[in-house]
Amino acid sequence: MKFYFRCICTIVCASLVLAFYAGPVLARKNSKRFNPLSSVVFLTSKRISPDEALSPVAFKGVGPGFVIDRKGDIAVQVSVISDIHSIECSIPSLGYWPAVLIGQDKETGIGVVRMKAPENVLKKLQPVRFSKSSRPSLGQEIIAGGVGPDGRIQVLRGICSAPRRSLRFGNNVMYDLIQTDIYVHEGLNGAPFFDKGGRLLGMGILNSRHLPPDIGFLLPSGQVRWIVNQLVENGEVKRAWFGASFITVDPNLAALLDLPAQKGVLLVKVAQGSPAQRAGFRGSDRTLRLGNRIYPLDGDFIVAVDRTPIISDSSFVDVLNKKGAGSEVLVSFYREHRLRRLKVRLGEKAY
């Protein structure tokens, strides 16, 4: 009995000693973990008076960005820049440095500025870590890292109120946006939005004045990454042009319209002179009204591109963009319940 008692005492004492000595070591180790807010950048392109620094939110010429690599490249929304010849970036503990705009995407407004700093400063930059998941789940917590006019980082917490939204902004349709309950004002326009693990979920885009204060939209991290990589490499973003409008077909819509497959995209209208028209694709020529909803009928139903399955409007756009303008692709589609295939040479989307 005494033997077991001594063993237990020895184990307990050893555990206490280990906790006493290892605890601070583990704490120091954890303190070196990546802090996502260290990638947030304060961007200015105008002089800021002491009175302006007291403004409750940022304004034109002042806004956030985030570090994407250790070459000094920073992702921003170009709409926050008032003078491209007077860009300055500030990062806590690294000071203020001039920057130049190296490229911008006309469709999303994303730009990349390159910070002009010495090598010893660039080595200390903390690039964002992109999320491994395609998008947040409904109700998932989201953390925004914005800035105020005084240059201080502001943190807001919210949730994902809709994981997937496709919306029209002017003449452009933006696919697969993430909706949050965080209102994206000027201080969050271009700001990084993180998950609880500190990985980038998306970039905030400035709210329309017509939206209520509890709705904001993010460009998902996958799109942001694809865009900034093109801007860093080429200074511009080239998108493939198919030349048709289309809607997502899910299993419910497929059953309603008696379609031969459960997922894909249904062509609504084919543009005159477009690659789609030249290849022989057809849009819908009549509609079906059920209650207060109107559905297109008889348009070509696309299910694959180069044998890659198409499951939504955004997946169709992504596949075409990865193929690139000028590429010839084989499109599989149904017309009158018969599977067909056509080759189409993609054009380049004009702005």
Is 29 in a helix, a strand, or coil?
A: helix
* Distance (Å, whole) CA 172 – CA 202: 19
Task: Indicate whether 182 belongs to any domain.
Answer: yes
Share of the chain above pLDDT 90, in %: 70
In degrees and rounded to multiples of 5, residue 114 shows phi and psi of -110, 120
For residues 196 and 266, membership in a common domain is answered with no
Which of residues 130 and 24 earns the better pLDDT score?
A: 130
> Average per-residue pLDDT in the chain?
87
Q: Is the pLDDT of residue 312 over 60?
A: yes
What does the H/E/C string look like for 110-169? Answer: EEEEEECCCHHHHCCCCCCCECCCCCCCCCCEEEEEEECCCCCEEEEEEEEEEEEEEEEE
Q: What average pLDDT score do residues 136-149 get?
A: 92
* Distance (Å, whole) CA 15 – CA 158: 40
Q: Which of 165, 200, 234 is the last residue of a domain?
A: 234
Residue 27: predicted pLDDT: 36
Residue 351: predicted pLDDT: 79
Share of the chain above pLDDT 70, in %: 89
Residue 135: predicted pLDDT: 79
Q: Is the pLDDT of residue 116 over 90?
A: yes
Q: Is the pLDDT of residue 323 over 90?
A: yes
Q: What average pLDDT score do residues 77-98 get?
A: 92
Domain that holds residue 319: 240-348
Q: Is the pLDDT of residue 10 over 70?
A: no
Name 78's Cβ contacts closer than 8 Å, sequence gap at least 6. Answer: 101, 104, 109, 110, 111
For residues 211 and 292, membership in a common domain is answered with no
Task: Indicate whether 31 belongs to any domain.
Answer: no
Contact 200, 192 (CB under 8 A): yes
Q: Is 48 buried (19+), middle (13-18) or exposed (0-12) by CB count in 10 A? A: middle
For residues 82 and 166, membership in a common domain is answered with no
For residues 202 and 270, membership in a common domain is answered with no
Q: Which of 234, 265, 284 is the last residue of a domain?
A: 234
Task: Indicate whether 6 belongs to any domain.
Answer: no
83: domain CATH number is: 2.40.10.10
* Distance (Å, whole) CA 102 – CA 231: 7
The residue to which tokens 């419910």 are assigned? 252
| Amino acid (one-letter) located at 224 | V
Q: What are the pLDDT digits (tens) for 154-188?
A: 899 999 999 988 887 767 778 889 999 999 988 89
Identify the weakest region by mean pLDDT among 75-89, 203-217, 275-289, 309-323: 203-217
Identify the weakest region by mean pLDDT among 35-39, 134-138, 169-173: 169-173
pLDDT band at 93 (very low <50, low <70, confident <90, very high): confident
H or E element, residue 226: helix 221-234
Residue 14: predicted pLDDT: 38
For residues 287 and 330, membership in a common domain is answered with yes
* Distance (Å, whole) CA 194 – CA 128: 9
Q: What are the pLDDT digits (tens) for 95-114?
A: 999 999 999 999 999 999 99
Q: Which of 212, 234, 256 is the last residue of a domain?
A: 234
For residues 244 and 343, membership in a common domain is answered with yes
* Distance (Å, whole) CA 269 – CA 245: 5
Q: What are the pLDDT digits (tens) for 275-299?
A: 999 999 999 999 999 889 999 999 9
Q: What average pLDDT score do residues 237-253 get?
A: 95
Residue 286: predicted pLDDT: 92
Name 94's Cβ contacts closer than 8 Å, sequence gap at least 6. Answer: 117, 121, 124, 125
Residue 1: predicted pLDDT: 44
- The CA–CA distances, whole Å, from 228 to 74, 222, 337, 345 equal 9, 10, 41, 26
Q: How many domains does the chain have?
A: 3
Task: Indicate whether 69 belongs to any domain.
Answer: yes
For residues 96 and 181, membership in a common domain is answered with no
Is 24 in a helix, a strand, or coil?
A: helix
In degrees and rounded to multiples of 5, residue 34 shows phi and psi of -60, 130
H or E element, residue 187: none
Residue 134: predicted pLDDT: 66
Residue 26: predicted pLDDT: 29
For residues 169 and 110, membership in a common domain is answered with no
Q: Is the pLDDT of residue 148 over 80?
A: yes
Q: What are the pLDDT digits (tens) for 179-222?
A: 999 999 888 999 999 999 999 999 999 876 677 778 999 999 99
- The CA–CA distances, whole Å, from 58 to 154, 269, 270, 286 equal 11, 41, 42, 49
H or E element, residue 31: helix 2-31
Task: Indicate whether 19 belongs to any domain.
Answer: no
Q: What's the pTM? A: 0.82
For residues 67 and 165, membership in a common domain is answered with no
For residues 191 and 245, membership in a common domain is answered with no
342: domain CATH number is: 2.30.42.10
Residue 213: predicted pLDDT: 79
For residues 145 and 102, membership in a common domain is answered with no
- The CA–CA distances, whole Å, from 334 to 31, 245, 277 equal 57, 17, 16
Residue 29: predicted pLDDT: 41
For residues 248 and 327, membership in a common domain is answered with yes
Task: Indicate whether 132 belongs to any domain.
Answer: no
Task: Indicate whether 313 belongs to any domain.
Answer: yes
Task: Indicate whether 7 belongs to any domain.
Answer: no
Residue 172: predicted pLDDT: 75
Q: Is the pLDDT of residue 37 over 70?
A: yes
